[in-house]
Structure 1
Amino acid sequence: MPPEKRITTTRKPSNRKPVNRKKKSKSFPTQWKVAIAGLLLILLSPFYYGYVVSAFVSTWRWITDIGEDPSYRTYKSFDIKIPKNYSIHGIDVSYYQGKIDWAKVKAMEEDEVKVSFAFIKATEGVLLVDPYFQRNWREAPKVGIVCGAYHFFRPKRDGKTQAKFFLQVVKIEKGDLPPVVDIETLDGVSPLKMRAELSDFLNYVEMKTKVRPIIYTGLKFYEDYLIEKFDEYPLWVAHYYQPKLRLDNSRWKFWQHSDKAKINGIGHVVDFNAFSGDSTALSEMLVR
């Protein structure tokens, strides 16, 4: 028998939409989850940021130390920048520094920078005596530090009365630095009144001691109220954290260039000063 004929039929295309089969997601390995969680904990930790900041500061200090101006560089033992063009350095102190070990102060030295002189607060206004004055005035000269005493001036008070009070407390002797008047505030009076009282103070002290006093003030206060008014008096100027004092060198004798020095034997930071001349010039300033 002949083979059966196969009947072929033509199928119409299907109208079914293809089914979108989702790819089976692979599970994230547990060890990676743990690693990422640990990393997040580190990044969010305050200790991490503290470490980063510390590292940044250390790097910055390292970079800046390399590029420091050799004429105005950081002295690590004093923990401040010191202008290098001066050979005579000193400090000024008051009750704020507490009890001072002057022998340790004298012994401190780095790269020929040492404390050669000290200005010591004695009085303020017409009533206040610094509680550490007598001790400092007695002990500092014993170790070979040249000393001068200063009075914090109050323009509201009578200038002559303040001068008498100052000289009752301070006995100025041969070998001392000239007495100092510290003027840095108007205390609510006019500049004219301040200058009148200051002039009375200076005149009385000079008359009694035969020594011309030093005027201490801030650079701005000097420029605003004192410039060209007391040019016959030696000037001691405060002007901080600068490689150079913005004032003609012929006008000033002492420059208070920092208020943050660390000194052996002193428990608090101290003002640090430079003298404009050499040791001979400093000797010539001393009371005779």
Structure 2
Amino acid sequence: MADKKNNIAWKILITLILAGILVMGGFHLYEWWQTRKAHFVKYEAFGIDIPTNYGIHGIDVSKYQEAVDWESVKGMKVEDVQIGFTFIKATEGNSNEDRCFKRNWKQSKEAGIPRGAYHFFIASKSGKTQAENFISTVELQPGDLPPVLDVEQSNGVKSDKLRQRVKEWLETVENYYGVRPIIYTNVDFYKQILKDEFDQYPLWVAHYLQKEKPRIYRDWHFWQHSEQGHVNGILYKVDFNVFNGDSSEFRNLLID
């Protein structure tokens, strides 16, 4: 009887192992197929109006763009506009990691595109715990952009409590990496919620209503001016950004 039970247990174990191998194989096959499709996606232009008074243009991506062929992204050039940097979603909340982060992080670097990682902030959760999630996921290297905190929702949390948690995240991340993080948000959220307490941090601001510059009273480093762009090597629409400065100022922002 004992031998029969052992045989059944072994059969169950082997079945589970084989099922796991098939699932993993299917996942990698799906990734390969998505990347293959992305490689053949070509656009005649970026599909949006590009602010031409800025010299350095970039995109930001997450799992919603699925597989990205970064070599095709790097190779696309329309007149004088070429993708010169990317921000990549890394984490969200206390424990979530974007399922495409590792691949995007590695392959954008291999393609020679300066990269930055961002964390999507959940206002109802601890700033320190969320910072630890980001730190455990993201290894920054020389030539990378500073870490980014994406904070754009209050989730019903009072403004003073939200600002306290944002400060926890920023201070924890800055102490770990030794570089001041960038704040990403939209114009109204900055003016109404964050206010003047974070003016010492570099700002990446989202604003789609003007073609020349975002409508904000303080200095800014990056401007997300559209969420409707197209780039070779990406199957879906993607956010477009510009850097507010020249190439030497951009290099000075990168991690040593």
- The TM-score, its normalising length taken from structure 1, stands at 0.72
Match of 1:52 in 2: none
Give deviations 1:173-206, integer Å, cap 9, x for gaps. 1110000000000011001111000000000000
In structure 2, runs of 5+ residues without a counterpart are: 1-42
Q: CA deviation at 1:227?
A: 2.6
In the TM superposition, 1:90-239 aligns within 5 A as 90-239=58-207
The AA in structure 2 aligned to 1:212 is: R
Match of 2:50 in 1: 82
Q: CA deviation at 1:76?
A: 6.0
Q: Please tell me the root mean square deviation across aligned C-alpha atoms, in Å.
A: 1.2
Query: Within 2, Cα distance between the matches of 1:135 and 1:228?
Result: 37
Query: Within 1, Cα distance between the matches of 2:225 and 2:154?
Result: 23
The AA in structure 1 aligned to 2:156 is: G
Q: Identity over aligned residues, as a percent?
A: 49
Q: CA deviation at 1:242?
A: 1.9
- Indicate if the aligned counterparts of 1:241 and 1:258 stay in contact, CA closer than 8 A: no
Query: Within 2, Cα distance between the matches of 1:236 and 1:256?
Result: 7
Match of 2:215 in 1: 246
Match of 2:32 in 1: none
Larger RCO (CA under 8 A, 6+ residues apart):
2
The AA in structure 1 aligned to 2:215 is: R
Query: Within 2, Cα distance between the matches of 1:142 and 1:158?
Result: 34
Structure 1 consecutive aligned stretches of length 4 or more whose deviation exceeds 6 Å:
none
- Indicate if the aligned counterparts of 1:155 and 1:194 stay in contact, CA closer than 8 A: yes
Query: Within 1, Cα distance between the matches of 2:77 and 2:105?
Result: 22
Query: Within 2, Cα distance between the matches of 1:266 and 1:76?
Result: 13
Q: CA deviation at 1:241?
A: 4.4
Give deviations 1:131-173, integer Å, cap 9, x for gaps. 0000000000111100000000011100001001100000011
SS in structure 1 of the partner of residue 156 of structure 2: coil
Query: Within 2, Cα distance between the matches of 1:112 and 1:158?
Result: 44
Query: Within 1, Cα distance between the matches of 2:208 and 2:84?
Result: 20
The AA in structure 2 aligned to 1:282 is: F
Query: Within 1, Cα distance between the matches of 2:199 and 2:103?
Result: 33
Query: Within 1, Cα distance between the matches of 2:197 and 2:44?
Result: 39
Query: Within 2, Cα distance between the matches of 1:286 and 1:164?
Result: 22
- Matched positions, count: 213
Query: Within 2, Cα distance between the matches of 1:231 and 1:189?
Result: 21
Q: CA deviation at 1:279?
A: 1.0
Q: CA deviation at 1:111?
A: 1.4
Q: CA deviation at 1:208?
A: 0.7
Match of 2:34 in 1: none
- The TM-score, its normalising length taken from structure 2, stands at 0.81
Match of 2:251 in 1: 283
